[in-house]
Structures are given as C-alpha cells and as structure tokens.
Amino acid sequence: MESLKRKIETEGVGVGTEVVKVDMFLNHKIDVQLAVEMGQAFHEAFKDDQVDAILTVEASGIITGMTTAMAFGNIPVIFAKKGERRNIGNDVYTAEVYSFTHQKSNIIRVSRNYLKAGMRVLIIDDFLANGAAINGLISIVEEAGATLVGAGVCIEKGWQPGGDHLRGKGVKLVSLAICDRIEDGKIICRD
Amino acid sequence: MESLKRKIETEGVGVGTEVVKVDMFLNHKIDVQLAVEMGQAFHEAFKDDQVDAILTVEASGIITGMTTAMAFGNIPVIFAKKGERRNIGNDVYTAEVYSFTHQKSNIIRVSRNYLKAGMRVLIIDDFLANGAAINGLISIVEEAGATLVGAGVCIEKGWQPGGDHLRGKGVKLVSLAICDRIEDGKIICRD
C-alpha cells in the first residue's frame, strides 16, 4: 500500500537496527484517514473470502480492526484481551504470547461466548515481527473450531521470521507494508 | 441514545449491584454498527465546538474514539497508554488513575509531541464511574496547555459520583446512556 509505505519512510523513525517507531501515525497518535484506507485495503484483499468477524488483540490492533470491519459493512470485531494470568476461568480460550519488545509473556484470551465453531475469521493486527501474537490468535481460532480466512497486518518487519513462517504454513497473509531494513534512522520499505 | 439504552437493557448483564457487563457488544466483542452510531451521536453533540483531536485511553476507548473521529471527518485520535511506572522519560505527560474495578493504580501517559498547546480536545471514553480516567485525561490536557472542549462517554454509572463531579466543575459532559441501578441482574437505564 503505497501511501502507508511513504508514510513509514517519511514520518517513521528507525531506532537502532530493529525498532520501527510509528507512534506518530499508527499506535499513539492515529492518522484516522490512513487507518480508514488500510481497512479498505484489507477489505479489497479478503472481500471474496466470506468473512464473518474480525479477530484482533488489544490495544492498537483495535484501530485497523475497526476500520476493516467497517469496510466489510460493519461486521463484528472481537479483540483478545491481554493479561498475566492463565487461570481465569473455563469460559475463555487462551494462548501464551511472548513479546520480544517487552521481554515477557502475556496470556491473551477470548471468551468462548463470542468466538464460535464455524465462524469465518479474519485476523488483523498492526505489526508482524516474530509472529507471536498472530500465532497465538491462530491457535485460539483453531481451538474454537472456527475457520481462519487469513491474516492482515499493517507493517511486517521483513527481517524477522514471522511473515515467512506464516506463508510457509499456507496462511493467506496480507502485509500492507514490508520494512526491509533500517539505515541511519531511516526505515526502508520493500517496493 | 435510545438504541444504546435498549442494547444495555436487553443484552447487558448486571452483576451484583455494581458491575455493568457489556462485553458482548462494547468491550470484547464489538457491535461495530452501534459503535458507528455512537460516534455520530458524539459528533452531533460537539459538532459546533471546533474539535481538533480526540483524546482517549487504551484499550476500549479506542473503539468509539475512532468512530467519533471518523464522524468528525477523520480528525486525529490520540490514545493515552497505560503502564505501572511513572518514570518513563521527560517527553510525556502523565497522570495517576486509580481503577476501582482492578483495585490498583495505573499511570497513563501521552507524548508531548502529539498533544500541543492550543489544540481543542474532545475526550471520549467507554465508561464513566468514579471519573478517575477522565479526570486523569483532563489533567493531561491542562498540563499540555490544550483546551478541553468536553467529554463524551458511552455509559455513565449514575450511582457513582464521576458524572456529577464533572458537571459540577463545568465540564460539557455527554453520556449516551446513564445506568441508574441493577435489579436482579437487569441493568436499568435512565429515560
């Protein structure tokens, strides 16, 4: 998605060789027009896949989760909640997600009341690096007996293995921008 | 807002005398159509107030923060981040917010780069009970030298003091639904 790539390259800040800082338009101050366009791009990519619901994870996944759901005609969004405890009752699906950024594990959880067998689910998230969050969401979709339509991410870090791992598993993965590297604080996106 | 009140009364669950559980349409599974209508209702209430940006707090504030910003023609959303530490650098405004639900204090923070003096800010959040989150956001708006246009909340718990306290301070507060009490698991909204 050209407008997103240009935004990442002109406004994003690369820190060291690993950190893609885009909180000026994506995950602290939100460029709402861009978020709407990202939702439309995910809809364009998955519009023939009979999506029943969007599944994402709090907090910043909610942003494009919402705009994607709106592009699909206001289908429901379910967002997984994060916590530190695994034992929070039998009425939830859980998965353990290790965050390399924060160097700790979180448990994500989704109520069994809302994610049901047979639902066709599109996973949306803002970032894909090692794929921990999306793999956690996929395991929850599988545990629920729902059908994974695919996954859409705004920004994939191309030098980390999450994207290729998902493609290797046969997941329909749509990354709106893939960052290839950071050079002197500049983020370089793949054409 | 009639459709929200009916939704709370028909689908919401009251737990004990205090807990308003609406995660079936607001803060776990999202009824996106209703969220769009709530954004339109906030726009209707504040459309003559020259709003430059929406300020909310992660995670579930982002939902109607986004739809409100879209109703205003895609103005920016800034969402405060939550954490446990106060000392995270000089580039942020912080406020301490006590959560009665979770019985602990969080520090909320907003980057000084995004909230600027002179901006006209509308605060949006999903719940208003004791007003801790909204008062924290207001103190951040004041510290930034920005102008508080008002605050919009989806659901006000009428038996808790936050709403009347804000009105008493002269804040333009718009609550789309006010819950008056819980009776045998049913939530009763004010007409």
Please state, in angstroms and as integers, the Cα–Cα distance from residue A114 to each residue in A16, A110, B49, following that order.
41, 8, 38
Q: How far apart are CA B114 and CA B118, in angstroms?
A: 12
How many whole angstroms separate alpha carbon A145 and alpha carbon B164? 47
Whole-prediction pTM: 0.97
Smallest Cα–Cα separation from B111: which of B44, B53, B50, B71? B53
**Interface probe with A: pick from B30, B37, B121, most Cβ of A within 10 Å:** B30
Q: What is the pLDDT of residues B139-171, one digit of tens each?
A: 999 999 999 999 999 999 999 999 999 999 999
Q: What is the pLDDT of residues A54-87, one digit of tens each?
A: 999 999 999 999 999 999 999 999 999 998 776 5
pLDDT digits (tens, 9 = 90+) for B64-104: 999 999 999 999 999 999 987 765 667 999 999 998 777 88
CB contact under 8 A, A76 and B113: no
Contact B77, B56 (CB under 8 A): yes
Helix, strand or coil, per DSSP, at residue A92: strand
Cβ separation of B76 and A24 shorter than 8 Å? no
For residue A90, pLDDT over 90 is answered with: no
pLDDT digits (tens, 9 = 90+) for A3-56: 999 999 999 999 999 999 999 999 999 999 999 999 999 999 999 999 999 999
Integer Cα distance of B82 and A166 in angstroms: 31
Supply the pLDDT for residue B87. 57
Task: State the helix-helix crossing angle for A32-46 and B61-71, rounded to 10 degrees.
Answer: 100
Q: Are B53 and B77 in contact (CB under 8 A)?
A: yes
> What is the interface pTM, i.e. ipTM, of the complex?
0.96
Average pLDDT over residues B110-128: 97
Q: Do A59 and B36 touch (CB under 8 A)?
A: no
Separation of alpha carbons B104 and B82, rounded Å: 12
CA of B188 to nearest chain A CA: how many angstroms apart?
23
